[in-house]
Chain A
Amino acid sequence: MKFDTPAGTNPIDRMKVVGKPLDRIDGPAKTTGMAPYAYEHHREAPNAAYGYIVGAAIAKGRISSMNVADAKAAPGVLAVVTASEAGKLGKGKYNTAKLLGGPEIDHYHQAIAVVVAETFEQARAAAGLVRVSYARATGRFDLEEALKTAPLASGSQDTPPKPDRVGDFEQAFAAAPVKLDARYTTPDHSHAMMEPFASIAAWEGDRLNVWTSNQMIDWGRTDLATTLGMPKEKIRFMSPYVGGGFGGKLFLRTDAVMAALGAKAAGRPVKVAMSRPFLMNNTTHRPATRQRIRIGANRDGKITAIAHESGSGDLPNGRPETAVTQTRLLYAGANRLTSLRLAVLDLPEGNSMRAPGEAPGMMALEVAMDEMAETLGLDPVEFRIRNDTQVDPAKPERRFSQRNLVRCLREGADRFGWTRRNAQPAQVSDGRWLVGMGVAAAFRNHVSLPSGARVRLGQDGIVTVETDMTDIGTGSYTIIAQTAAEMMGLPIERVVVKLGDSSFPVSSGSGGQFGAGSSTSGVYAACVKLRDAVAQRLGYSSADAVFDGGKVRSGNRSTDLAEAARAGELVVEDTMEWGDLDKTYQQSTFGAHFVEVGVDRFTGMIRIRRMLAVAEAGRILNPKSARSQMIGAMTMGVGGALMEELAVDKRFGFFVNHDLAGYEVPVHADIPHQEVIFLEEVDPTVSPMKAKGIGELGLCGVGAAVANAVYNATGVRVRDYPVTLDKHLDRLPAVA
């Protein structure tokens, strides 16, 4: 099915199952420990041996020699595979650095060997016996330094690396009566998902089965085939449950490659999990940014000029962190400039992490907006409202398909008690706490990817959906079941959903908040076909057949849905493809974050007291799981605002705090009750589901709302994330 005209009324609009806050259908399995994650397929791959990865101890240079003899001779060891034993390997399309290094080393903790043994303990001990000597080369590890000579970069392959301009920014900025010119920094972030990267590989002749933890089954399968130099049809790639990804598991990583190579060498299934202290330098991270924002406005608060420039670094042939994207679309203003610079760094690979671009970009932009509002003497909610735009500022003929940012801000302000905020910072206290409130807009574009599904109507009347879509905690199992149930007129209990298997049709996968809208649309398309097939079997005209209450009705005839499969299971398959409505309309999601913090006037310690988000993302397919996406993102935003930072060792080129003790993320004590409100909307331009993504929207802007609240509490502006107490302690209001 191709979606190229805005959706009219369709069965989803009945909202008997879709749109209901149903419990997740995978809940009982997850809460009882019955849901199998990557490393847990002992039934399917019995007798697996254990692989343990050895990582490079230098950031850049060469291995001059490697002694694996001791490791090979260690008790229980079945095989040791290094680059020289592995032979020629390809590099996946989505990988920047090679997944098995040697003799050249591209980054610290790049995998250089896998040791396979009978037990985990033996493999780990033997891995410690691999002796490596290196010739270290000089690496580039200092972003600040490298950006001094870094060239301009482009956020996508289709656009040249040059600044994006509308009007004449320089002239308008020079002429603006009120101005801001400020610099902001965000550090490297780690996804730190709770399930470490893990894979089990089992060969059957020249066929390979891989159970892994990956958000994008088809990308992973294709890149594994490229890496191993084999046809992808011979690989079955499976991730029925993914213990968190946040972008870190968008791509093939070395666990799958090492498991496949190890299994081949050992002649039996091999399971490999990355150790926590290894995975933070071995895998990808969100790159640090250095951002400069300039805003010029008239005294009435109308923006006349806005510029956002950002620099980041990555390995050679890497990608920039596109932190300026939202600034092209979020606020009005006739004169605009955005640009990216990309420095070459020899740190581990930078890549997508939840809301790549917008997450760090909004952390800066929405603080700049707060600063500008203060300079103008305007309330920051009002300042944003005054600069709302209903069109793409670069192409005024192109409207937003739907944009209720103003409503999000107004409703949020209302619910949060924003009028109680004192615009003058450092005025409100509650015992030892200085109390402040902050606001930020939330913004993230909607994206659709082609997505396929197979649906079966069994003789028992059960509808089974099969798609290689993944559920990374997002609720895919449940919203897909809701979609099929709604389409086929069944209660959700009569739908079975099977995900994360390359033997199912290729879906959008999970990422870029495209998963929910795309994958349910694929299921919608397949269900339209199934409805036709059912009608045909029953001799109904599919145009007027009504699927409801487990029955199919047409005129005054009515039949049990199961009846259509009496003569044999019905199986159909379809893929949703997309026209160019996203060119006609700018399709985005919006929201507003409100945060109240307390700052200890004596120690500078920051605590979150209240959080509220109001969000607009078209139809909300399941308000319960969508709300969880929001609160989870808000929690991650608190992490980015207050604690998360990969500390770079600029001499040796690695992230120092590479475990969960050193890389701090929010814990229970950091997060109070969180409130989320969804605007009741549908967006017929995006898909027949009329739903947009929500998983990243919740992260965009929340960090800035926290930082703005801290400023409102203390009167000290910190522009370098994370906002930790050492950065404002010496400037806090005097304690009487």
Chain B
Amino acid sequence: MKKLLVLLIAVVFGGQMYGQTYNTFEPSKTQFMIRGYGHTGFEYMDSGDETESTFLGLAYAPIFLYKHSDRLMFEAELEFVLEGNQLETGLEYADVMYVLNKNITARAGKFLLPFGTFMERLHPAWINRLPNAPLGYGHDGIAPSSGIGVELRGAFDLGGPTLNYSVYATNGPRLNDGSDEPEEAGMLRFENYEDTNLAKAYGGRLGLLPFSDSSTEIGFSAYSTSDTGEQDSEYEDVGAFLFALDFSFVKQISGLGGVIDVKAQYNNSNVDTATYFELEDDILEEYSFDNQSNSFYGQLSYRPTMASSDFVKKLEFVGRYSDFNAPEGAEWEEKSVQYAFGLNYWLSWRSVIKLSYQTTETEGGHDGDGLTNTDGLFVHWAIGF
């Protein structure tokens, strides 16, 4: 990880110097941009017996773009987040892309995975209409967010409708076999910089925009690997198959005086059954379960862009439903349902103040077996630049 960072920083600053040395007032052949985003906020959470309120540390994510020619480009995103009192850094993605012809572009490196659309297209704070991700994404999520490998992607113009695709091979996920963290036995870990076995993960997404106004897109994604366990361990050939369905509809509707935006994604993860161990009163007990998880979210937002008042024009109303089901019998068994409501004020196309109320009902999960109801109030501020 450290080496990767040092290498990246070397590449980034080396490239920057190169870019600046040769940047005259004429557009140079190598074009360089620093973009990125930052967000911060305040949260108040109430889960019955416990209440918590906190200002959130700023997260800052610089993005570096180098366009070397009309075909060749490099993109990288670093992430700086304050976690507790520590600065956490991450390399969100770093990949090189080359346009082979009008229908095929190749990418290599660490890239956001087109598994559904949320992680690849909608998660940045200035794009996401709510302050957080739906259930099923993030640390304990079931959807892979990025991968290290190679990818081919592109689009076809069908004379009105368009079809887009991507196919990739990446280092596969790692199965948590419970030897270090017994409470997470059976979970897949996707943040995997070095593969622990020879099997790779293969996957892709097919998206169709059936109407010529590009308002609607439906997509199907699959992600599959034959081995997830450590090489030569008894878990080596525990395979996994994941799929996702996504939907998007964005259109300005005069009758409603504004833009309607609908987003939805369903994820399903299926891991081969294996035997795990747990320590019960100092005795090692075997157990196994049907390792299937799924999650869903549907979001509707409305911006009254055709309103006469300048203030009202910049408002946005959002509602989101999401649920997450982790396998019954697992130590991390969980059933959660969340309703989130939001009111946003758009300062510009890339900066927004978000006010949101969310209520989550969780059965099981990391924090115990009972039923917990958590109410949360969020004020977030995101800016892209």
Bound together: no
Give A residues with C-beta under 8 Å from B: none
**Chain B residues in contact with chain A, CB under 8 A?**
none
